Amino acid sequence: MDTTIERMPPVLLQATRSGLNWPTPPVFGRPEDERRHLKQRLAAGFRIFAMHGFDVGIAGHISARDPILIDHFWVNPLGVHFSRIKVSDLMLIDHQGQVVEGKHPVNAAAFSIHSRIHRARPDVVAAAHSHSRNGTAFASLGRLLPPTTQEACAFYNDHAVLQAYGGIASELSEGDLIAQSLGQGKAVICRNHAHFTVGHSVDEAVFWFLRMERAFEQYLLAAAAGTPVEIDDVTASLTARQVGSHSAGWFGLQPLMDKVLAEQPDLLE
């Protein structure tokens, strides 16, 4: 199996009138190379989730649209710990729920939700979700994330709240509700459940999940200590343009992605 890892050349981060000129993801000449890269990043994404404690029983999933079969997506196998997932463990399923490649069962909620997100949002390459501690706690408030920190501003006017909870989202109707609530945003908070983030790459979707989890934690800590001061609309909007772009999300994960790929090469198997 080819375990070559693409490396990006060094790039300087420069300021522009509209914000920051972030580096951009690699572009591939062959779809087979893009698929291999995507699966490597997806397997590494689960290792990163495990590092952050987002491995709660069998809950949680990250999906990635296949670059060749665009109405199919790769997802984690049910019951395999995130810290042990390898490229060879990933499951390929279509939007009808048929397993095309893989040797494990698939989480019914993963299919019901991610198939609907990918179908509703052709621009989305990856979607991430887990029952993280701060994400589930904040979700119980049933409100948008206030712009009280720079991290939170990445989601300013770019996320939504689904004001409904009907138990485990194993039905396609639940997935439709989540996709509809997500709209064109980068994240949706499902009340009494947790949050979902999406991106134009696996790296971006995973980074937004981590960034939103951190923003939830910051708000909950501040609210427990007093009354957080919200950033004004003009400044929050400017900050969102600076730190909330697709390239900012992709590049934000690169240090951690490089660390995981270097320290856990078995994930490439």
Predicted local confidence at residue 13, as pLDDT: 59
What confidence category does residue 257 fall into, taking pLDDT thresholds of 50, 70 and 90? very high
Judged by average pLDDT, the poorest of 15-29, 108-122, 171-185 is 15-29
pLDDT at 168 over 80: no
Cα 129 to Cα 10, 13, 148, distances in angstroms: 31, 29, 23
pLDDT at 4 over 60: no
Percent of all residues in the chain with a pLDDT value above 90, rounded to a whole number: 83
Q: Where are the domains of the chain?
A: 25-268
Predicted local confidence at residue 17, as pLDDT: 54
What confidence category does residue 163 fall into, taking pLDDT thresholds of 50, 70 and 90? very high
Predicted local confidence at residue 262, as pLDDT: 97
Percent of all residues in the chain with a pLDDT value above 70, rounded to a whole number: 92
* CATH fold for domain 25-268: L-fuculose-1-phosphate Aldolase (3.40.225)
Predicted local confidence at residue 109, as pLDDT: 87
Q: What is the pLDDT of residues 15-67, one digit of tens each?
A: 555 567 888 899 999 999 999 999 999 999 999 999 999 998 889 999 999 99
The residue with tokens 């490229």 is 87
Tell me the average pLDDT of the chain.
93
The answer to whether 215 and 240 are in contact (CB under 8 A) is: no
Predicted local confidence at residue 112, as pLDDT: 92
Q: Which burial class, exposed, middle or buried, applies to 108 when counting CB atoms under 10 A from its CB (0-12, 13-18, 19+)?
A: middle
Q: What is the pLDDT of residues 213-247, one digit of tens each?
A: 999 999 999 999 999 999 999 999 999 999 999 99
Please tell me the pTM assigned to this model.
Answer: 0.92
SS3 for 162? strand
Mean pLDDT for the stretch of residues 171-185: 94
